[in-house]
Amino acid sequence: MNQVAATAARQQADVPFTIRQVGPTFGAEVRGMPIHGDVVPELLGEFISALHRYRVLIVPGLELDPADLVAFSRRFGPLEIHSRFENTLPAHREVFCVGNVERDGMKASFNRGVEQWHADSSYRRTPSDASLFYAEIVPGEGGDTLFADATSAWRTLEPAMRRRVEGLYAVHSLETLRQWGARHNPERAAGVDHQPEAFPPVRQPLVRSHPATGAKSLYVCPAVISHIEGIGAEESAMLIETLIMHVTQARFVYCHRWRKGDLVIWDNRAVLHTASLFDHTRYQRLMYRTTVAGGAPALAD
């Protein structure tokens, strides 16, 4: 680094962004973080520490194009290409499009917004570390994204329940998700948008540890879990329901009302999230998602 660059780097690191918590136990709005162009490692390190601490970071008021989003996202690690290839941008396959817009060879992934709590790509052996979601077109109402603090949920779980679930494994399967999707979106052609052979079922712990912070969290994705290993189907379904009811209590939920230009980054290793309904006959919605590939399997075996 030459001297001018070094001075610029120090100055950037000296002007830290501001952080304001917006959710009940987690979630923070960040202002002043440079998203375009170079970011010095110290500042990126601070931002990543904030992500680990607050689990969801909101950076409002941006004007990003897909290339900007991909460039910023890559700072967090290699990006996944989504298994539903037809919902990715032709010019930037790392960008998965969500909403009800179809244009320029891109068709956004539309689902009914039925509540479906999950963390992204839990059906991969090594699930995603973090996702970045950028609001390109927001509906006049609805289409909020809800986040649940799976880390605080673990901390507050009754000791008897903790003993029961720690050490259990759930099987996460793209085929289970496809069946769930077919029940809720019967008009979507079955089977065209998944690659079950590329993603065979995987076991994930019900309680996972965050590799950077060590914090434990509940890892429950009801639409993706086919069953919990070692217990019967009925008991399995009841346990998942009990856990999801606990995690998604209002005291652990932050609802993000989108404004155009918001970028939200969430830590898939610490929170769950879900879409919500919007009137897709009246409004357009288009969101760009990039997905940071996982650095380590969820289980520490």
DSSP reduced 3-state for 95: strand
For 222, the token pair is: 């009801």
Binding at 275: pick from ligand OGA, Mn ion, none (beta carbon under 5-8 Å per type):
ligand OGA
β-strand pairing of 92-99 with 225-228: unpaired
- Is residue 82 close enough to count as binding ligand OGA by CB under 6 A? no
Nearest Cα neighbor of 120 from 87, 81, 169, 164 is 81
- Is residue 273 close enough to count as binding ligand OGA by CB under 6 A? yes
First-last CA distance in the chain: 40
Which of 98, 165, 220, 264 touches ligand OGA by CB under 6 A? 98
CB of 301 to Mn ion, least distance (A): 25
CB of 145 to ligand OGA, least distance (A): 4
Question: Of the two residues 11 and 195, which places its CB atom closer to Mn ion in the complex?
Answer: 195
The residue whose Cβ lies closest to Mn ion is 120
CB of 164 to Mn ion, least distance (A): 27
For 75, 137, 190, 264, 276, the CA distances from 287, given in Å and listed in that order, are 20, 7, 23, 11, 13
- Is residue 289 close enough to count as binding ligand OGA by CB under 6 A? yes
- Is residue 120 close enough to count as binding Mn ion by CB under 5 A? yes
Question: Of the two residues 40 and 223, which places its CB atom closer to Mn ion in the complex?
Answer: 223
Tell me which stretch binds Mn ion (CB under 5 A): 101-109, 115-123, 145-153, 166-174. Answer: 115-123
CB of 273 to ligand OGA, least distance (A): 5
Question: Of the two residues 145 and 176, which places its CB atom closer to ligand OGA in the complex?
Answer: 145
- Is residue 267 close enough to count as binding Mn ion by CB under 5 A? no
Which of 35, 265, 287, 298 touches ligand OGA by CB under 6 A? 287
For 14, 20, 27, 141, 237, the CA distances from 59, given in Å and listed in that order, are 19, 11, 11, 20, 37
For 243, the token pair is: 């856990």
The rounded distance, in Å, linking the Cα atoms of 165 and 247 is 14
- Is residue 56 close enough to count as binding ligand OGA by CB under 6 A? no
Binding at 94: pick from Mn ion, ligand OGA, none (beta carbon under 5-8 Å per type):
none
- Is residue 275 close enough to count as binding ligand OGA by CB under 6 A? yes
For 74, 85, 134, 208, the CA distances from 98, given in Å and listed in that order, are 20, 12, 10, 27
Q: What share of the chain is helix, strand, coil (3-state, %, to 5)?
A: 25, 25, 45
CB of 120 to Mn ion, least distance (A): 5
Q: Which helix (H) or strand (E) holds 178?
A: helix 174-184
Q: DSSP state, 24?
A: S
Long-range CB contacts (within 8 A, 24+) of 33-41: 33/59, 35/59, 35/62, 35/64, 35/68, 35/72, 35/263, 36/64, 36/68, 36/72, 39/12, 39/75, 40/8, 40/9, 40/12, 40/13
Binding at 286: pick from Mn ion, ligand OGA, none (beta carbon under 5-8 Å per type):
none
Which of 73, 100, 145, 151 touches ligand OGA by CB under 6 A? 145
Question: Of the two residues 80 and 120, which places its CB atom closer to Mn ion in the complex?
Answer: 120
Which residues here bind Mn ion, judged by CB under 5 A?
A: 120
Which residues here bind ligand OGA, judged by CB under 6 A?
A: 98, 120, 131, 145, 273, 275, 287, 289
